Amino acid sequence: MTLNDLEPIYEMEKRIFNDSWTKEAIENELKRKRYSLNLVSEMNGIIIGYFFAHFLENEAHILNIAIDISFQHQGYGNQFLDQILENYLQYADVYLEVKRSNFPAINLYLNFGFEEIDIRNEYYSDGEDAVIMVKKEKQHGLVSPKR
């Protein structure tokens, strides 16, 4: 993703979300180089989705992932997330927040092995709660089970 992608991503963000990011917030993410993973999904040279995350060592936090409205419910979001997790975040614990009412997204994340771990009350600007989810990749035990 580059600064040249700012306008199409911002327009897509406004179409998809009622509480969309500002153009300045997107631009700041595009300019942020350290600890950032910013990707686009393209079809025939057209941006159909985007992804923003921050990471440090073996931990990543998904800030935003979206597929444009006309491409939703066709498997593109599933493919995009699968490629991101497989190619960029396979060795990370991945965290995210999702609106409590966004059942399609919650189900998508559950299908990828994310677990619901907490609730952030009134997290979003419209007052809706966020479900905090994590997909753990690390083995946390120091002792192997006996066989």
Q: 1-47, pLDDT tens digit by residue?
A: 888 999 999 999 999 988 889 999 999 999 988 899 999 999 999 99
Is the pLDDT at 141 greater than 80? The verdict is no
Q: What are phi and psi of 92, to 5 degrees?
A: -125, 150
DSSP annotation of 70 reads: G
Is the pLDDT at 139 greater than 80? The verdict is no
Here the CATH number for the domain that contains residue 125 is 3.40.630.30
Q: What are phi and psi of 76, to 5 degrees?
A: -70, -40
Pairwise CA distance, residues 61 & 97, whole Å = 9
- Does 31 reside within a domain? yes
Give the count of domains, the chain: 1
Pairwise CA distance, residues 76 & 132, whole Å = 23
- Does 95 reside within a domain? yes
- Does 14 reside within a domain? yes
- Does 146 reside within a domain? no
Range of the domain at 31: 3-135
The alpha-carbon radius of gyration of the chain (Å, integer) is 16
* Model pLDDT for residues 36-82, shown as the tens digit of each residue: 999 999 999 999 999 999 998 889 999 999 999 999 999 999 999 99
The residues assigned a catalytic role are 97, 109
- Does 144 reside within a domain? no
